[in-house]
Structures are given as structure tokens and as C-alpha cells.
Structure 1
Amino acid sequence: MDINFELYKVFHTASTSGSFSAAARKLYISQSAVSQSIRKLEESTGSVLFVRGPRSVKLTAAGEMLYSHVDQAYSLFRAAEGKMREMQSLSFGEVKIGVGDTILRYLLIPLLQKFIENYPNIKIKIINRTSPGIIDCIKSGAVDLGIVTMPVEDKDIETTDFSSVEDVFICSSRFGHLKHRKVTIDELSAMPLLLLQKGSTTRRNLDLYCASRGCMITPEIELENMDLLVELSRIGLGIAYVLKESAAQFVSDNELFILQLKEPMPRRQLVIAELANVPLSPAAEVFKEKMLE
């Protein structure tokens, strides 16, 4: 049967008020409107709900049973309203983020640290995927926001510029003869290269760059983890292609150096992706604002 919540509202108010006239005053309606609503509810339930007196009403056994359930429902509504207020005030909520592991480690962790300091009651959920996987997660509702690499060609996804990053070739002193000159991508293709596996955004961009110059590269080693590529490069196993930030400390300590290319690689544009025309939760909206500060 269809539920007429207005009838239950009148019933609950009359039950707690003790009379139809008092209920009418609380609800800002006429006493006859209260009486009609109660009559409709009694017809709907097939039970007499009140014993009517000259100036007051009292619940019947059936009315007492119904009231116990309706009062529980009212408590749930009040709890829901309270949770909504908490969400709006950011004392409660959840942000679901999709991001690649390297971007998470070198760009997002500092932002996350500040956010949880300012909003300790907001729950953070992180899903690690490549850019295409993150887009799929956004569309399925598994995440609210994702950090992905452009281009994003999906009409259901809205993007906001976040940051641009640089991927670089790094190597140890084993390749010191390359340090003070610019090298071509053809030269690099003949050297032992340490690359991320195909499917990663970093690798895809490198493959596209090489293809545009008629060059094909065959890596010596392919891994899923960029930090391992940096470590293998440190021991002289080869030349790694990694996010610049992932090797910054080792470059600063002169354990590694960045190769200079004759034709520099284009920077990668990172964007914040979300579902188009779908409002974010208050917590997710604030997190996005903090990312853009």
C-alpha cells in the first residue's frame, strides 16, 4: 500500500498532544483537518486508533502498537536530519578519491595530511588505479573525485586543471658520459631502459612520444612500481623514466642525474575528474577546494 506520510505525521502529533485541538495548533491546521486525517488513517489500517473523549483522546491498543512503530520512524528521521546537518558542517562525511600510486605519494599525501588535520572526522577512502580505471570508478560511483592525466574524452566526466608534472630520464654515474650533453630519443632507445609496464599513463605518453618520432623502444626491465625503477637506476642497472619528484632527493644528493633531451618531453597535465552535472557531497566539495588552493 502507498504510504501517506502526512497522515502519520498528524497521528504522531495527536498521540503526543493528547487532543485533536492541541495537535491542530501544533500543525497549524484546523481541528477538522486533524479529525479527517485520523479517520483516513483508521480506514487505511482497518483499526480504531483513538478513544475519543469530549476534550481529549487516548490511544487504543491498536493505536499504541502503531504509535510505537511510528515513533521509531520519527526517531530515524530526526537522526537522519542530524547526520545531514553534521555533513553540512563537515563534522561527518566521507571523500572517495581515485589516484595513481605515484601521484598519491608525491603530490597528494601532503594535501591529505593538511585535510585530516583540519577535518579529522571526515573519512578518506582511496582507490589506486590508472587514469582509465579511475574514470570507470567515477562513473560507477566508487569514487567521488579522481586525479587523472589529460586528455579525458568522455562527455560524462567534468575536469578541472590541477597540476602539470614532468617525467624525466634518470641515471647514475655509470652513464656519466651523457651528463653534459643533450641526447636524442634514438640514442636512448639503444640503451638499457627501465620503464613502467604498458598501461600506465607515464609509459603510454612515452610510447606516443617515441612513435611520433618514428622510434620504437624496448625496455630492459618493466615494473609496476616507479620507486623500484628509481632504486634500480641508482645501482646503475639502467636509465629509468620516472616522475621527476620521485627522484628529486637522489638528484639533489648527486646519486642520480637527469638526462637532457634534444627534444624535451611535453609535461603531463593532471586534472581533477568528477561526474558532470552531479553535485559533490559537502566533504568532497571542500576537499576539491583544498586541492585547488
Structure 2
Amino acid sequence: MFQLEWYRIFLHTARRGNLTKAAQDLHITQPSVSYAVKQMEAELGLKLFHRRNKGVELTEEGRVLQQYVEQSFSLLDAAQRHLHDLKQLTEGEVRIGASDSLIKFLLLPQLNAFHSQHPGIRIRLTPGKTPEIARKLKEGLIDLAIVRLPMEDPMLSVQKLAELEDCFVVGGAYRELEDRILTVQELAELPMLSHSPGSSTRIFVERWFAASGLSISPDIELGSIDLLTEFARLGYGVAFVPRPFVEEELRSGQLVELRPDTALPSRSIGMAIRSDTPLSIAAEQFVRMLQSGDGT
């Protein structure tokens, strides 16, 4: 059976044209070089070297083999350099899944800090709703997911990162409601702007209304917080959004926060990774940054 070391010995012998010099390069004995060459020739059933008085010379078959061995060791050397770069975080890739809003408002400071420290690492962002992001994580298409909690899945390890408070907001067209305490019924009767069905936020707000025995039928369904905010500002109705994402609009008066008589529970944002799959070095470094809160 062929051994990798035989090829290394063969290559040094071919380059040096001398068994003794090859042995010196490899820090082994000359008989060890001679034995390895003879074993290769016996296994291949071919002569690889012509024996000369002052050394050895490759046969035609030996020259053919050398070309392949040179390429193979060049690839191995390149692989070792690549692995070294991965270990030193000068190369690599981190694949992250999250909704557009979480990428913009939660992840961006972390991504900026990570990219500043490790500019050679590629960052691949996959936007989507929490359920589809979780599915892609379990399928191995991404390394980690930033998701709305709660999330329980035996395949995933989930850690809480932050807590967000939500609020109902409207534009100036509904400013007369700003100083009132609204019942859940009154809120439900307003034109509702909502996330698309199946999103964790849509499910959350539907359950909140259902706790008061009410159901909602949104007038407009939109796929992002930016769009919900804009449509609310233009007077299309009431939008349910995380308060930190609209603080500037609330301060400037472009949006008005409505106050329900039933408190809204806070929601948590978490990071999920697969329990059964080790992370790449780059992904592990990014996870540590998220856990420590660096970059915020």
C-alpha cells in the first residue's frame, strides 16, 4: 500500500537527482530513501529512476509521475496555507439568517465591528421570517440565526440576546388618539397594518388580541418594518412595531404611539445554532462577539 511519505521522498530524489542529498533534505538516512524508491517501483511495476554513477535520473515514467506529485504537493501546501488563514481569521465565511429589520437594527453594529476586526472574512446574510430562517439553519444552509423567541427545537441551541418592547403606532391623521387610553376593542377597530401571515410578529399580535376574545383582519399586509412604519406615517392605519425601531419617528412627531389599556408583554430576540454541528472558526468568533455584546 502506498504511503504519502514515499511520494515526498520520490519528489526530493527527483529534484536533487541524488539519494544521499534527498536524504539530507528530509533528515533521514540514505537507505531509507533507497528503500522507499524501491517499494514505489515494486508497487507500480515500473522503473522510476535510472541509476547512474553520480546519482539517479528520472525515467520517462518517473517524469510523468513527478508532474502529478508536484501538483499534488502544491495543492496540499495551498490547503495548509488556507487552513492557517482560517485559523488566523484572515479568511473564512459566516452565514447568518435574520429578518431585514433585525439585520438593520440589531445586527448591523455587530457586523460593522466584526468586519472591522476581520475584513478578510466574508459575511453572507440570508433574510427571512423566523420559521424559514430556523428551517435553513437545521438544513445547514446558514451557521446561525437571529430569531424571535420563544423558540423550542431539539436540534437547536438557543440563547437570548436582547429584549424588545413593541408598540402600536399611527401617523398624524390619528393624532387625536395620542392622549387617550384605548381598549383592545378600539384598537381592533382601527385599520390594521400587519406583517404577512406566518411571521412570528403576526402570530404574536394575533394571540394578544385573541387573549381579549378578538380577532384581527389586517387591511394591508407588508413584509418589513420599514414599510409598516412608512404606511403608518402616511395615515393608512395602525402598525405594530418594536419601539426601538421607530424612536426617531416618535421623537420627531412623524408617528404617534397609541396606548392600549392592556399591557403588551416584551419579546425577546435570540441567537440559534445547531446543537449537533460544530461551528467554523469564523462563525464561532462571531458568536462569541454576539454573546459578549461587543460592537454595540
TM-score by length of 1: 0.90
Matching residue of 1:141: 140
Q: CA deviation at 1:164?
A: 1.7
Q: Does 1:92 align with 2:80?
A: no
Matching residue of 1:216: 215
> Distance between the aligned counterparts of 2:164 and 2:133, measured in 1?
18
> Distance between the aligned counterparts of 1:12 and 1:123, measured in 2?
36
Checking the alignment, whether the CA contact within 8 Å between 1:159 and 1:271 is kept in structure 2 is yes
Checking the alignment, whether the CA contact within 8 Å between 1:167 and 1:202 is kept in structure 2 is no
Matching residue of 1:228: 227
Checking the alignment, whether the CA contact within 8 Å between 2:11 and 2:69 is kept in structure 1 is yes
Task: Map 1:1-293 onto structure 2 (within 5 A).
Answer: 4-53=3-52, 56-291=55-290, 292-293=293-294
> Distance between the aligned counterparts of 1:33 and 1:212, measured in 2?
82
- Check 1:50–1:277 CA distance in 2 against 1; reply closer, same or farther (3 A cut): same
* Percent identical: 33
Q: CA deviation at 1:33?
A: 3.6
- Check 1:3–1:165 CA distance in 2 against 1; reply closer, same or farther (3 A cut): farther
Amino acid at match of 2:285: V
Q: Deviations over 1:1-52 (max 9, x none)?
A: x764232222223323433344444445444443333223223322111123
- Check 1:50–1:269 CA distance in 2 against 1; reply closer, same or farther (3 A cut): same
Larger CA deviation: 27-36 vs 9-18: 27-36
- Check 1:156–1:22 CA distance in 2 against 1; reply closer, same or farther (3 A cut): farther
**Matched position secondary structure for 2:150:** coil
Q: Which structure 1 residue ranges, 5 or more long, are not aligned?
A: none
Q: Deviations over 1:104-129 (max 9, x none)?
A: 11122222223223322221111111
Amino acid at match of 1:213: S
Amino acid at match of 2:4: F
> Distance between the aligned counterparts of 2:117 and 2:254, measured in 1?
37
Q: Deviations over 1:263-290 (max 9, x none)?
A: 2222221111112242222222222223
Amino acid at match of 1:217: I
> Distance between the aligned counterparts of 2:230 and 2:2, measured in 1?
65
Checking the alignment, whether the CA contact within 8 Å between 2:194 and 2:240 is kept in structure 1 is yes
Q: CA deviation at 1:202?
A: 1.0
Q: CA deviation at 1:89?
A: 1.6
**Matched position secondary structure for 1:259:** strand
Q: Deviations over 1:111-155 (max 9, x none)?
A: 222322332222111111111211222222221121111222222
> Distance between the aligned counterparts of 2:264 and 2:210, measured in 1?
13
Q: CA deviation at 1:239?
A: 0.8
**Number of matched pairs:** 292
> Distance between the aligned counterparts of 2:183 and 2:30, measured in 1?
89
- Check 1:120–1:212 CA distance in 2 against 1; reply closer, same or farther (3 A cut): same
Checking the alignment, whether the CA contact within 8 Å between 1:48 and 1:60 is kept in structure 2 is yes
- Check 1:22–1:152 CA distance in 2 against 1; reply closer, same or farther (3 A cut): farther
Q: Deviations over 1:214-251 (max 9, x none)?
A: 22111121112321221121122211111223322110
Amino acid at match of 1:69: Y
Q: Which structure 2 residue ranges, 5 or more long, are not aligned?
A: none
**Matched position secondary structure for 1:35:** helix
Checking the alignment, whether the CA contact within 8 Å between 1:230 and 1:246 is kept in structure 2 is no
- Check 1:208–1:36 CA distance in 2 against 1; reply closer, same or farther (3 A cut): farther
Q: CA deviation at 1:54?
A: 5.5
> Distance between the aligned counterparts of 2:159 and 2:9, measured in 1?
48
Q: CA deviation at 1:262?
A: 2.4
> Distance between the aligned counterparts of 1:37 and 1:234, measured in 2?
79
> Distance between the aligned counterparts of 2:140 and 2:28, measured in 1?
43
> Distance between the aligned counterparts of 2:264 and 2:95, measured in 1?
32
